[in-house]
Every structure is written in structure tokens, then in C-alpha cells.
Structure 1
Amino acid sequence: MLKVRKREEPWKWGALVVFLGALLFSLVVSALLLAWQGKDPVYGMDILWQGSFGNLWALEGALLKAIPLFLCSLGVAVAFRMQIWNIGAEGQFALGAIGATWVALGFPNLPGYLLLPMMFIMAFILGGLWAVIPALLKMKLRVNEIISTLMLNYIAILLLDYLVFGVWKDPTSFGFPMTPEFTSGAVISGIGDSRVHWGLLFCMIVGIGLWAFMSFTRLGYELKASGQGARVAKYAKIRYGFLVVFVMALSGGFAGWAGCIETSAVLNRLQPSLMVGYGYTAIVVAWLARLEPLNIAFASFLLAALRVGVENMQLELQIPAAFGVIMEGMILLMVLAGQFFILYKLERKKSSQG
């Protein structure tokens, strides 16, 4: 017989073991799903590896997808640290893209050194304001932020569709829903001859800045302390209501920056194909990384590479697009279940002798 016993200290390498175990389990189940569909699982896993890490093109593709995913995940993690469940990064991402596009289309003749900062500022403002709405609803009307942030995602995406199908639609697009292409001053350029753009450097600066803010400032300390609950914050005389609004504005602003970078550097215009679920995947990344910025960078790249590899599998093996979502879901489920073994362990129960 086995019994559950709480560890005196959390398992030191538990997080890494749980994560690798979850990844291995996900790959094994994915291989079984491929075999169930009549595909060669070994060949399928080889395609997944080659599409994710097998060459420079794959690595560049993973980095491109990791950039918006990293920023959305940082925003989600900031809110989660305070136990504010922001599920609305997808909508905040869309509002950031809308804000950046408004600046790019409204001031096309400005030089890049003015236009790009204006796009980033507007993206942060709109993404942050979109996140402040559920924060105010939570504080004033006790509306659950999970519901309100989730519902606002749909409104934001429909607003984006309204703009690209309507007032911002390019008259020369042959009927396709997209805005006119941005001028050169509104486009984030690539690094050298690679496909990777300077948004990567921006991510590094934001990640280091957030780590420093959380580690060395009073406001960062108060934010982490407030994660113990509203009662603890009020007992410590911390402005809990202000922090809820602040952390949601910061969370939404980061997602807004992700939307700005993706619109400017990758698509060079606004169009519906921008919305590929980075905001939802960010929730998975934040939990996998245990809300730590450095871990978020690693997990963002890993899941981005997984996405690139699955896209390669779709082309080569003609598998459904949902295959990648299934893999992400299994990884998250196993990591969450594995948290049990970080805090507890199983021991053999000694049989009592009569």
C-alpha cells in the first residue's frame, strides 16, 4: 500500500522533471494518434523534429512565433502572480494591433523614429485600457474577471473584423479583408539577412525590465504580496484596488505590444489572419514557466517551435490543424497534474503487525 506524504521542502528538480515528463507523455500520445490515423508515427515525429529544430529556417520561424507569445505570456504571468485571472490576452493583442494600425494609417508620412514609438505607445494604451475594463468591473461590481476578459476577446476580434472588412479595407485588395500596406517607417525591420526582426531585442529589454521591476521595486514587492489575497493586502495596508487596475493595465499593455509587433514586423498590415491564438497559448506558457520571466522565454520558444513543427506535419501528413492544440493541452494538463509530486511524495505504507 502507498500513502501520500508532504515533502519538507519542494522537490528541487521537480519542475524540470515534471515538464520533461509532460512533454514526453504528449509526444507518445501524439505518436499513437498518428498511428490511429494510419500515419507512420516514427516518420511523423521526425517531421515534427525537423520542422521545429532541424534547420535554420525552422529556428527562425520558431523565434518569430515566440516573440508575440513571449510578450502575451509575460502579461498573463503578471496578472496571475496577483491571482487575477486574465484570460483576455487574445483581445488585448487585437486592440494593440488596432491601435498600432490606426497610427500607421493616420500618419503614414512620419519618419520611422517617430512613427514606430507612436505605434508602440498607442498599442500599449489600447491593450491596457481593454484590460482595465474587467478590472473595474471586478472591483466595482464583483464581476468575475475570467468571464469578462473571455467575453471581451470576442468583442475585440469582431471589432478588428469590422475595421478590415469596412472602413480600413484596402480598395486594391481584390475584395480580401486587409488594410493598405504600411509605409516603410511603420515597419519593424529584420536583423541582417534573417527573417527574425528587432522585436526580439525589444522582448529581451521588456523581460529584463519586468524582472527588475518585480525584484527591486516597492510596487513589485506589493504586487507579489497581494498575490496572497485581498485580505492579506489590506492587512498590510497595500492599495489592493489600485494594484488590480495597475496589473491588468500592464498585462493588457504587454499583449498590445505583441499585437503591434506582429502587425508591423510580420504582416506589415492589419488582417484577420493575425489572430492565431497567441493570447490563449500564453496561458499555457505562463503556467508551464511557473510565472517566471526567464522560464517564460524558454517555454515560449519551445511551444512556438512546436507550432512550427506541427504546421510542417500538417503539410507533409495532411493531419488536422487541431493536432497542435491537442498536444499543447496534453502538456499543460500533465504539468498541472505533476505539480502534486513537487509538494508531495508517495511512500510505501508499512504494514502493522497484530
Structure 2
Amino acid sequence: MSDTPPQTPSATPPAGSATPPASRRDRPQTDEESRWHGVFREITSGSAIISVLAVVLALLVGAVMIAVTNDDVQESAGYFFSRPSDLLGDIWGAVSGAYSALFQGSIYNFGRDSFADGITPFTETLVFATPLIAAGLGVALGFRVGLFNIGGRGQMLIAAAIGGWVAFAVDLPYGIHLVAALVAGILGGALWGGLVGLLKARTGAHEVITTIMLNYVAFYLVSYLLREGFLRTPGSNNPKSPASKETAIFPDLLGPDYNLHLGFLLVIAATVFTWWLLSRSNLGFQFRAVGENPNAARVAGISVSRMYVYAMLLSGGLVGLAGINQVLGTTTSGFGATVDSGIGFDAITVALLGRSKPWGVFAAGILFGAFKAGSFSMQAAEGVPIDIVLVVQSLIVLFIAAPPLVRAIFRLPTPSDTPRRARPIVVKEVAAK
């Protein structure tokens, strides 16, 4: 019996033998490759790309509708098999002409003589976007807390009624009068929204039902006040309020040749405030905790009912900013019961497109403001119905509400398919005894 230990086979190949090359699949990725691959995965599986692609898809469907409803396209389709180039040319002319008119009516008009005149459409876009952004921020704030605030119409009407009354009935010095009317409008919207939060906190009433009902209450209340109450114009049978006094009107930002007013700067300040509130404040942390899981937030010691009241107060105040913006900046000659102009419901679309993030809502509001400003140019220059723009906006909501559809069309990876970063294996060396 030999004392020599048995020889273990060597892992190294014998000299002179060729080492088989590793395949590309088995070759480990470098740090740089894996990093860029992770960035690409993060972009393509994120929510921001879904919003962008939803707009692209809606514009493509809108292009189809523009082509189908165009008279020249319908005429050339009748002899398509004899001259197919005519149909293709008419389709291109209709779609490019419509979207060119949309651009020139909302961003820059190349037909104007000077840059100052050509930039006028963009200022109109910002005017339309101002109340949309303010109301969208209010709806987005409710979304982050798990509340569906669809009472924007009622909150805007109450804000317009209270702030508008201060604007035309109270005599105050310039500056103080403007601030008083602005604060009164924001408080009116906040109280009307806070009532919804109080009902939910105390009785458990669903905010969707209460906001819908309060929309009707606000509409008929303001309609009555415009006919018989303190909002009525003396000596007039028209249900319209008196004009706001000069001391309570938003000043122009770029001079009398443009309609852009101070309300746009207030909306920028509101966006910064909402971002800070949700991302940097203790109250915002509690809002987000309640929105993620109210039961877990309650176990952690957060008063969920109080958060609902606070959230609806702030949400209603932001929507109220949109309402008073209409009175002090847009309809300064007097307002009626339709002063909200559908902004309260459009704000839901803006909040969805912006993914309930303040700066996303800001960008979405400008986009929808461009749609509103450019739709008139599309109708005047190309004869495209304004309803097509409304269809495009509705399709944006549809595609945003169905992310799997967008991912399937563009073959994007789903978030669950995103590979997780492998954790490093820690090996402990144990010293031999």
C-alpha cells in the first residue's frame, strides 16, 4: 500500500492542445455594455416613453381621420386603380397641410413678417395651457394620494364666483385688490374640494360620487347667482357677471400685443410648489404613503382621514387657481356659468398624460394648450373639423390607459422582463484549524 496521495485531474489542458474559444453568448458582458443595456431597458420599460408613444399613436390615428374626411382624398379614391399617385398625393397634402397649420397656429407662424409676430401663436398656446396646468396639478395631487378628483368643474365655478365677486364688487388699491381676488378664488376652490375630503374622512363617501354631485350643485348655484344673486349685472337680463375692475386684472407679461398674462408665472410657481410638496416635504411623504397603501400608512401612525382632507384642500386650491385665472386673465369682461370651458375634465387627461408628476403635468398642459390653439388654425386653413383634435386627445387617454397595447405595437419590453442586477456573491474564507 503506497503512502502517495491520489492525483487529482488537472483543470488546465495539456500542453499543445488548443483551447476552444468561448462563444459570444457565454462571454460575460463588460461593465460598460451592461450599463448601457440597463439604461436602454430603463428607458424602454419606463412610463415616460409610454406617454410619448401614446401621443405619437394618437397623431397617427388623427392623420388617418384627416385623410378619410378630406374631400380631395375621397374624390381621388374613386379612380385609385387608374391613377394611384393622385390618392397618395392628396393624402400627403391633407395630412401635412393639417399638421403644418397646427404647428403654425400653436408654435410659430412662418408667414408673419417679424419674429415678434410669428411667435404670437406660442403665446396663445401658453394662455390656453395656463388653466390646464393649474387644474391638472390639482387632479395629479389627488391621484398621488389615491383620490380621484373629478370635481374640477365645480371647484373652478366656486373659485370664479367668489374671486370674481371680489374683483368687481370690492374697491381696493392696485396690487392689494389683485391679491385679494386671487386668494379669494383659491380659497373658494380649496373649500369646495375640502368638503369632498371631509365627507370621505368622516363618512367614507366615495370622492367620485361626491365630486360629480358637487359639480351640479356648483353649476346651478352659480347660474342662480348670475340671474338673481350677488353676481348679477344690474339692469341686465343676461346671466353674466359685471366686468372685473382694472385693479384686479392680471397684467400682461409681454405687452398689449400679446394675451399672455401674469397667470402663467403663477402656474410655474404652483408647479414648483407642488413638486416641492410631493418630493421634499414631510406632508408630501405622508401623501405618497397613503396613496401607495393606506392600511400600511395607518399602521405607521399616519392619520389617513386627515391626509384625505388636506389633499382635497390643496387639490381644490390648485383647481381654484385655474378658475380665478379665467376671471382675472381671460374673461375679464364678465363670466357666465360656462367659465370653466371644460377645463375641469380636460385636467384629468393632462394629469394622466403627465403621469401625476408636476413637471410632467406642466409639459402635458402645454401640449394640450397647443392642441387648443392650433385647432382653430387647422379649421380655418385646411377645413379640418375641430372635433378631430378632440378625438386625438381622447385617443391619447385611451393609449395611456392601455400600456400593454402600446408596448405590443412598438415591441417594448415589459417592466417585469427587465433583468435585475445580480447581487455579488460574498465568499468567506475559513482558516483551517
Q: TM-score range by the shorter chain?
A: 0.7 to 0.9
Distance (whole Å) between structure 1 residues aligned to residue 385 and residue 338 of structure 2: 18
> What corresponds to 1:137 in structure 2?
199
User: Aligned partners of 2:417 and 2:393: how far apart in 1?
Assistant: 26
- With 237-246 and 26-35 compared, the bigger mean Cα shift is at 26-35
Label 1:275 to 1:316 Cα distance change in 2 as closer, same or farther (>3 A): farther
Query: Structure 1 110/208 Cα, relative in aligned 2: closer, same or farther at 3 Å?
Result: same
Tell me the equivalent position of 1:34: 66
Shift of 1:201: 1.4
Amino acid at match of 2:341: V
Once residues 232 and 25 of structure 1 are traced to their aligned partners in structure 2, the CA distance between those partners, rounded to angstroms, is: 38
The alignment status of 1:223 with 2:287, answered yes or no, reads yes
SS at match of 1:127: helix
* Partner Cα distance (1:344, 1:32) in 2: 34
Q: In the alignment, what sits opposite 1:252?
A: 316
Q: 2:126 maps to which residue?
A: 63
Tell me the residue number matched to 1:308. 373
Relative contact order, higher structure (CA 8 A, sep 6+) = 1
Tell me whether 1:282 sits opposite 2:347 in the alignment.
yes
Q: How does 1:16-55 map to 2 (within 5 A)?
A: 16-39=48-71, 40-55=94-109
Moved over 4 A (4+): 317-321, 339-342
Shift of 1:148: 1.5
Distance 1:59 1:165 in 2: 37
In structure 2, which of residues 278, 281, 288 is the aligned counterpart of residue 214 of structure 1? 278
User: What is the aligned length?
Assistant: 338
Counterpart mapping for 1:119-268 below 5 A? 119-167=181-229, 168-171=231-234, 175-193=237-255, 194-268=258-332
SS of 2:241's equivalent in the other structure is coil
Q: Per the alignment, in what secondary structure is the counterpart of residue 179 of structure 1?
A: coil
Query: Which is helix-richer, 1 or 2?
Result: 1
Contact 2:201 2:306 in 1 (8 A): no
Are the counterparts in 2 of residues 11 and 342 from structure 1 also a CA contact under 8 Å?
A: no
Counterpart of 1:94 (choices 147, 157, 167) is 157
Say if 1:342 and 1:178 are closer, same or farther in 2 by CA, change over 3 A.
Answer: farther
Q: Assess if the C-alpha contact under 8 Å between 1:30 and 1:327 holds in 2.
A: yes
Question: Are the counterparts in 1 of residues 142 and 311 from structure 2 also a CA contact under 8 Å?
Answer: yes
* Residues 193-238 of structure 1: CA deviation (Å, up to 9, x unaligned): 1321111111122221222222222111111111122211111100
Question: Greater CA deviation, 146-155 or 64-73?
Answer: 146-155
Native 8 Å contact 2:226 2:239 kept in 1: yes
How many angstroms apart in 1 are the aligned matches of 2:379 and 2:206? 38
TM-score (norm 2): 0.73
The 1:172–1:59 alpha-carbon spacing in structure 2 relative to 1, beyond 3 Å, is farther
- What residue in structure 1 maps to residue 357 of structure 2? 292
Are residue 11 (structure 1) and residue 42 (structure 2) matched? yes
Deviation at 1:42, TM superposition (A): 2.9
Give the unaligned 5+ runs of structure 2. Answer: 1-37, 72-93, 110-118, 408-412, 419-433
Displacement of 1:16 in angstroms is 3.7
Question: What secondary structure is seen at the aligned counterpart in 2 of 1:274?
Answer: coil
Shift of 1:250: 0.4
Q: 2: CA distance between counterparts of 1:46 and 1:61?
A: 17
User: Which residue in 1 is equivalent to 2:179?
Assistant: 117
User: 2:415 aligns to what?
Assistant: 343
What do residues 62-120 of structure 1 show as CA deviations (whole Å, max 9, x unaligned)? 1001111111111111110011111111211111111111212331x211222122112
**Aligned residue identity for 1:286:** A
Alpha carbons of structure 1 residues 21 and 258: separation in structure 2 relative to 1, 3 Å: same
After TM superposition, the structure 1 stretch with the greater mean CA deviation from structure 2, 32-41 or 228-237, is 32-41
For the Cα contact (< 8 Å) 2:155–2:316, is it kept in 1? yes
TM-score, normalisation: structure 1: 0.88
* % identical equivalent positions: 28
Deviation at 1:345, TM superposition (A): 5.0
Asked if 1 retains the 8 angstrom alpha-carbon contact of 2:175 and 2:248, the reply is no
Q: Structure 1: where are the runs of 5+ without partners?
A: 1-7, 347-354
CA RMSD, Structure 1 to Structure 2 (Å) = 2.3
Q: What amino acid is the match of 1:214? A: L
Call closer, same or farther: CA 1:32–1:345 in 2, change over 3 Å.
Answer: farther
Paired position in structure 2 for 1:270: 335
The 3-state SS of whatever aligns with 1:191 is coil
Q: Secondary structure at the match of 1:251?
A: helix
Query: Quick one: which amino acid aligns to residue 152 of structure 1?
Result: L
